Amino acid sequence: MTDTTTVELEHALASAAAVAPSFGDLPLDRRSAMLHEVADALDDQRDQLVALAQQETHLPGTRLTGEVARTTGQLRFLGDVIDGAWLRATIDTADSSDPVLRPDIRSMHVPLGVVLVFSAGNFPFAFSVAGGDTASALAAGCPVLVKAHPGHPHLSARVGALVKEVFGGAFSLISGVDAGRAAVVDPRVKAAAFTGSLAGGRALYDLATGRVDPIPFYGELGSMNPVFVTPNAARARGEEVADGYVASFTLATGQMCTKPGLLFLPAGHGLEERVASRAGAIGSARLLEDRITQSHAAAREALRATAGVRVLDDTASDGDDSTRPAVLVTTVAELGDGSRVLEECFGPTSVIVEYDDDDELIAAARLVEGSLTATIHAEPDDDALVERLVSELRGRAGRLVWNGWPTGVRVAWATQHGGPWPSSTSALHTSVGAAAIDRFVRPVAFQNTPQSQLPAALRDHNELGIMRRVNGGLTTDDVHGGGTA
């Protein structure tokens, strides 16, 4: 795939802007059907797409096959979400006793307009061309420009063609750094979404918010995803915790945004040999691309060189084009604001941090920056300590995991995949699940507006059958006919 030229980018932007009003006004069931249609097309070509992805990403076929299923399931899920309730149609009829101070007000969500999506490298399907950002923006009624990731250009072109066949002018694929930067600052683009590195995301965020007309930039950036193990949990099931930890931080060769980067264990836990043997048994594997291999190696060397940090098992080295898992060990006493240990190392490297007592564990929790997730392994007798941990961690993570592992994100109504900076640029939003659509809509209120000028969902006679909140109650009936449910 060659870089998009200035002329090609202009055509894509002009097409998206031209269709934005009509695409946003499409009946909800039509947009839903289109998302299902893309899902069906991906499923029909799954084997060919997986084979192409294997060639470009080095990811195993089983992982990629599962990711296609997740992607198509996500497309169908978001298509089903837009059944009308997500419009949040709300009606407050006028108060006849004081129509001046209490006029008739009706509001609903409307699409933002053209959305720019930056594909991720580590999920070539689920967070790429037809991934969650694209699907949620299209579901919201926004035309989409996707900037293809350079790590899988041919796969991006193939998937892009499938989406284009269904959505036409409401979808375009672009490529190249210059095209992406130019699109971010183009006045026709009304929002952008990004999954990638902290440095790259921050640069784009600054462009988006530095415009004459700043736009929302929803970036998923770097995350440490700390895991906290209480002394009781370490004693009761330490080996189980050790095994789960290694399996989680090495999943997909450590190239998942929810990889646990820090494991807090009580001093004297006695699990080092178990962790070392399990990690050593994983073996080496190729990372997504040479750039990631090099940056991971540099980050790991920086950790090795950090005062107070030692490598748990340093008996083997990486191959020429492959990387083996590594676990490093330090103590809370060695940490501090700005410690390299508290920075993400993208790849199969993680750090065990030992603490002396409950107070030191809480102090460690205060040092961790914003993360997508935080995990607690505890026992029933740990209520007091867990209460203190949760009090700290709910201000630092978007998802709290209890006696489990953070890798793997369910596509569901309650999902929150986002957290405080630097894990994402907006802790208020999620890039996965039903609420992901909310990033690409905004509320508009209509005051004392004639029925003929109101959107159909806000008229007295709700011929669409859309559930609405009317004067505080939910109804699908005529506004003045009661029928709340």
Catalytic residues: 220, 257
Q: How far is CA 344 from the centre of its chain?
A: 16
Number of neighbours of residue 430 by Cβ within 10 angstroms = 28
The crossing angle, in degrees rounded to 10, of helices 61-81 and 132-140 is: 20
Q: 3-class DSSP state for residue 412?
A: coil
Residue from 135, 393, 184, 349 nearest 254 by CA: 349
* DSSP secondary structure of 328-390: EEEEGGG--TT-GGGS--TTTEEEEEEESSHHHHHHHHHH---EEEEEEE--GGGHHHHHHHH
Residue from 385, 271, 295 nearest 347 by CA: 295
Give the amino acid at 308: G
108 and 97 Cβ atoms separated by less than 8 Å:
no
Give the CA distances from residue 338 to residues 223, 311, 334, 341, in Å, rounded to whole numbers and listed in that order: 15, 20, 11, 8
124 and 152 Cβ atoms separated by less than 8 Å:
yes
Alpha-carbon distance of 314 to 280, in angstroms, equals 10
Query: What is the CA angle 275-280-284, rounded to 5?
Result: 135
Alpha-carbon distance of 305 to 342, in angstroms, equals 14
